Amino acid sequence: MIGNLSRLVKLASHNKIASRAVPSFYRAAQKPSVINCLSLRNFNSSSVFHRSGENDQSLIQTLTDEVKYEKDIVEDQGEPEFIKSFVEKTGFRIISNPGESDIALEKDFGNEKIHVRFSINDIVNMNDDFNQVEVFEEGDGNQQPTKIADNHREEEKASDFHVNLILTITKPNSPTLHFDLVAEEGEIGVNQMMFFNNPKIALEQTSEADYTRRGSYIGPVFGQLSDDLKDGIDLFLEDRGIDTGLVMFMQDYIEFKEQGEYLHWLEQFSAFAKA
């Protein structure tokens, strides 16, 4: 009787252990597959992270051709004569840094300091289309025109485009005179004529200075001034070199600088595509 009871206890104990055991097929299902992990890792590195776009090589070749084309133009042109001539005639100093859109002109006029600022971004006001351009050489008689260039930006000079400029004139013990002007078709028009007691408000390109300028009195409507006063202001500006010659220079310099900035943009794009 005791022997039978002992066997029953052992059998029950064995069955209890067996019931807690995890089936082998379940353990196999939970075990990660080494082959699957390796396959996933290879897919991530080769197919996603290290694959170039299928059109990248074509783009790189196009950029290489464009860079060479633009460099040849810059080398052929050299330093434009109009820049040297303008500086010698007007006494303005040109402040232009690569990669920056703003250009500054500065000079002394008696006890005054004259500061002009304009931007090459005004080239968007140009009427000429800089997109795909085809250049043809005229034929003789009935001969068809011969195509001599395409797929490059047009090299012809723009006839005219307006330029926005800021003129600031400072002198000791005096308010600072600040003009918002527009130059077009060889003439300069006055949008705003303001005064600031602190010259930094007129000259600094900071958010604080800009906020102060926006909240200041912009002056009277220029067109509503008397003819004598308008004529006097026009002559005042001409005496300081704010005239037709300046308008022509700004338009030419914008095109000149934009050409250099475009070449720099192409070189950066090319370096990015090749990296």
Tens-digit pLDDT profile for residues 179-228: 999 998 889 999 999 999 988 888 888 899 888 888 899 899 999 999 99
What pLDDT, on the 0 to 100 scale, is given for residue 132?
43
Domain ranges for the chain: 2-49, 56-127+158-274
CA distance 252 to 246: 10
CA distance 9 to 189: 111
CA distance 148 to 155: 13
pTM of the model: 0.68
CB atoms within 10 A of CB 170: 18
Question: Would you give the end-to-end CA distance of the chain in angstroms?
Answer: 88
- Residue 3 predicted with pLDDT over 80: no
- Residue 95 predicted with pLDDT over 60: yes
Closest CA to 237 of 175, 189, 191: 189
* Contact status, residue 73 vs residue 259, Cβ threshold 8 Å: yes
Q: Hey, is 145 helix, strand or coil? A: coil
Q: What is the pLDDT of residues 140-167, one digit of tens each?
A: 555 555 444 444 444 444 457 899 999 9
CA distance 105 to 167: 9
Give the CATH number of domain 56-127+158-274; options: 3.40.50.300, 2.40.10.10, 3.40.50.2300, 3.10.280.10: 3.10.280.10
Cross-sheet strand order for the sheet of 187-196: 93-95, 102-109, 112-119, 163-170, 176-184, 187-196
Question: Which residues, other chains included, contact 94 with Cβ-Cβ below 8 Å and sequence gap of 6+?
Answer: 83, 87, 103, 104, 105, 253
Question: Which residues, other chains included, contact 178 with Cβ-Cβ below 8 Å and sequence gap of 6+?
Answer: 166, 167, 168, 169, 192, 193, 194, 195, 196, 202, 213
Instruction: Provide the total of helices (H) and of strands (E) in the chain, helices listed first.
Output: 9, 8
